[in-house]
Structure 1
Amino acid sequence: MMLFLVPQFVVAETADSLRQKIEEANIQKQKLQEEQIKLQKGLDILNNQGKTLQGTVKSLDATRKKLETDIKVTKSKINGAELNIKSLENSMTEKERDIDTHQKAISMSIQKLASYDSKSMIADLLTYKKISEVWHDRSALGDLQDGLGEEIAFLRATKNALEIERDKKEKTKKELQNFNTELGGQKKVVEVTQANQTALLIQTKNKEAEYQKMLSENIANQKKFESDLFNFESQLKLVLDPNLIPEASPAVLAWPLEKIRVTQMFGATVDAKRLYTSQSHSGVDFAASVGSAVLSVKDGVVTGSGNTDLSKSCKSYGRWLLVRHDNGLSSFYSHLSNSLVTVGQKVSTGQIIGYSGGAIGGNGSGYSTGPHLHFGLYVTQAVSVELYSNSINCKNVYIPISKAGPAGYLDPLAYLPAL
């Protein structure tokens, strides 16, 4: 009897210990998330101030602190997932033992029923001295049948519960894998942010005048790139099949960020007329501090990725991703500080595919003059990732090209959830 009780006691003790650790991990995660929110609010204030060298350096410092807290939050999620997996494994072990016990009990009951079935009533009358003993034995048979039914019911319930826990374990393992990928990406963004700050101070010689000069150059480069691309794409005359373009409707796509604030709309806006020779903005800009998680807006496949900053003469999208969806749309994400996916990889709605960037002078920022996410939407039949050979400054880089000219671009807000 003691041999049977000891394992149960040990497992129960481990389960209690794990429950306590899970509770402590959740409390720690909550505290870190509160700190995360506080740091983000301070960072938003800095990012909304006028563009100065001192302000940008302060923003980068605050960004790094916030990213370090992001890493702590992710680590706490990893710890919680690992503890949940251990707890599920313990519970599954108990259920597997219960299943074995039920199966043995059912087997014994079936054997007893078989022995009863092999004897006739006449045989029982000849075996027992009293008729009352025969009825008692037959009553025991009924009890045995009832007990067998209960054991079978318990077995089914335990097997169902075990299957649910197996599914939950697999889901938690997948979450753990995603958390580890996220952690690696966040660490990379911290490294990039530190390198960007160092590079910015070197390039500007820590002088405000040099910073303002860089800012002006980025705006000029932005106008030049957009003008050249607009003129080039306007010469392309692919005729689109309207049947392959989904009807504009809210929530066809999910948001590309957890927190949404639009800073520039699509099309011929006041800012577009000021910034672009084409007088039209090809996407939507969202406010996003460096390192904000960028999410896939729908299930799809990554069909393009690149970083135009790798060509020193090219000031363009910076680090970008293109995802093809099965509804005739392709989503575009640019000015990223880091990307987590590769061409050919399948992605799901809400999956973290990269991290926002855009800090001036940062690797992957392109011509951006401040942290944000540029989100674009193409008609899939129109877009093609090609070497931009017609360009002078960007002839050695690959970017998405609309073979249908301006008609290949769609207003993302027509397909995203209502603001």
Structure 2
Amino acid sequence: MSYLRWWSGGVVAAVLAVSWLPAGQLALAQTVDELRHDLESTKDTLRSAEERIRKFKEDIQIKKQEARSLQDQISVIEENISGLSLVIEQTSAEIANTEAEIEAVQKDIEVTEVEIARQKTILAEYIRSLYAFDQQSSVALFLKYATFSAAITEAATYEEMQTRGQEVLQEVKRLRQEMREKQTALEGFRTGLTQLQQRQEAQQATLASAKQSKERVLDLTKEQESEFQRLLAEAQRTHQSAEAEIGRLDAMIREELRKQGIGNLPSVGVLSWPVQPIFGVSCEFHCAGYPYAYLIGPHAGMDIPTNVGTPILAPADGYVARVRDSGGPGYSYILLLHGNKVSTVFGHVSGFAVGEGQMVSRGSVIGYSGGAPGTHGAGLSSGPHLHFEVRVDNAPVNPRQYL
């Protein structure tokens, strides 16, 4: 049998033997397809949760009412609880989606590993064939055939084997790079899953706090409506007093700092979030439907729902101008001064980690969030959150412009 015929029969047969898709790999491919189908289902669930949240936000703007009575306050709290529950449902859908992504990528990696092994087997066959060809001398090659054209044909086949071998080698390299990228993606999904699980834990704690707030308000029976009205009036006075105090202190302390040679406070640049918006923002700057607008005017900042006791981080370097502790359920807040006439206010604070006159750096803990009705520092509030204000030249502006 000539070498050419051996290569044509033996090598091609060997290459074909490893080129067809093994039953195990076919099963893997089917499993990946099934996983991709399941992944699309989880994405549909996630999209459905997002749509329900969007619809809820639209409806709430229509239904929101002023908290003028005890029942109104209960209704506002119940609406907040519904909103928090929907966001938790969305997070659960994101977790399920991420878990499905992880499983699908893991199966993709398995399929890629099988394909790399298959291509390496093909490459080994080419290398063995090329090695056998190389053992022949040029004279022996031509003497082996009766015609010159037959010898040329085998030489051309040798070149074809080299080309195909090079192509297989490049395919193995490509598959290895693809597998490295998939492994990187897998690590990213795993990190994202951990973050989602941590976010869900914080969301569950915030929801529990909101439900406790409802129970505290429900303790005020109808016979205590007058007591609720008294508390509202007191909260109104506290907030108005705080507003006047913030305006007065901002200008007065800046002037005092200027006299002391500290006139140029650090510029803010882009502000960092003082707490992570695990539920997004429940009420934006001047949001429609703010339930206490009839008492204290338009909403001067943004409300970021978060569990009571969440550390509040300084959004930029600054000077602690005021630490106002109500000593009870009244409104407590922190005022920071920054450069370029910018100041930041943090309301419904349940605890403090700084004192007046301190310089603080971006990211340092300055206090702890509150806002659950009836708890320390809550003031006028319908649930656990941080009220965050940005002021420029002592006038409230939309914090979104700086975050």
TM-score, length basis structure 1: 0.65
Equivalences for 1:271-290 in 2 at 5 Å? 284-286=300-302
Deviation at 1:215, TM superposition (A): 1.4
CA distance in 2, matches of 1:346, 1:10: 51
CA contact (8 A) 1:219 1:369 kept: no
Residue in structure 2 matching 1:237, options 243, 248, 257? 257
CA contact (8 A) 1:46 1:55 kept: no
Residue 387 of structure 1: aligned partner: none
CA contact (8 A) 1:288 1:356 kept: no
Alignment CA distance shift 1:367-1:260 (3 Å): closer
Deviation at 1:232, TM superposition (A): 6.5
Report the AA paired with residue 216 of structure 1. A
Structure 2 residue ranges without an equivalent (≥5): 1-16, 288-292, 351-359
Residue in structure 1 matching 2:33, options 16, 19, 43? 16
SS at match of 1:368: coil
1:213 matched to 2:211? The reply is no
CA distance in 2, matches of 1:299, 1:135: 77
Equivalences for 1:73-92 in 2 at 5 Å? 73-92=90-109
Q: Structure 1 residues 73-82 or 10-19, which shifts more?
A: 10-19
CA distance in 2, matches of 1:180, 1:164: 24
Alignment CA distance shift 1:110-1:6 (3 Å): closer
CA distance in 2, matches of 1:298, 1:12: 51
Deviation at 1:74, TM superposition (A): 1.5
CA distance in 2, matches of 1:243, 1:116: 80
Fraction of identical pairs, as percent: 19
Deviation at 1:80, TM superposition (A): 1.2
Equivalences for 1:18-167 in 2 at 5 Å? 18-126=35-143, 130-167=147-184
CA contact (8 A) 1:43 1:59 kept: no
SS at match of 1:262: coil
1:416 matched to 2:386? The reply is no
Residue in structure 2 matching 1:375, options 342, 363, 388? 388
SS at match of 1:170: helix
Report the AA paired with residue 416 of structure 1. Q
Deviation at 1:90, TM superposition (A): 0.5
Deviation at 1:203, TM superposition (A): 5.6
CA distance in 2, matches of 1:14, 1:119: 47
SS at match of 1:376: strand
Alignment CA distance shift 1:415-1:288 (3 Å): closer
CA contact (8 A) 1:63 1:290 kept: no
CA distance in 2, matches of 1:149, 1:28: 46
Larger Rg: 2
SS at match of 2:219: helix
Alignment CA distance shift 1:184-1:336 (3 Å): farther
Residue 182 of structure 1: aligned partner: 199
Structure 1 residue ranges without an equivalent (≥5): 265-270, 338-342, 348-354, 379-405
CA distance in 1, matches of 2:281, 2:296: 27
Report the AA paired with residue 219 of structure 2. I
Alignment CA distance shift 1:313-1:20 (3 Å): closer
Deviation at 1:183, TM superposition (A): 1.3
Residue in structure 1 matching 2:286, options 223, 246, 263? 263
TM-score, length basis structure 2: 0.67
Equivalences for 1:332-351 in 2 at 5 Å? 334-335=347-348
Q: What CA RMSD, in Å, does the superposition of the two structures yield over aligned residues?
A: 5.0
Count of matched residue pairs: 349
Residue 172 of structure 1: aligned partner: 189
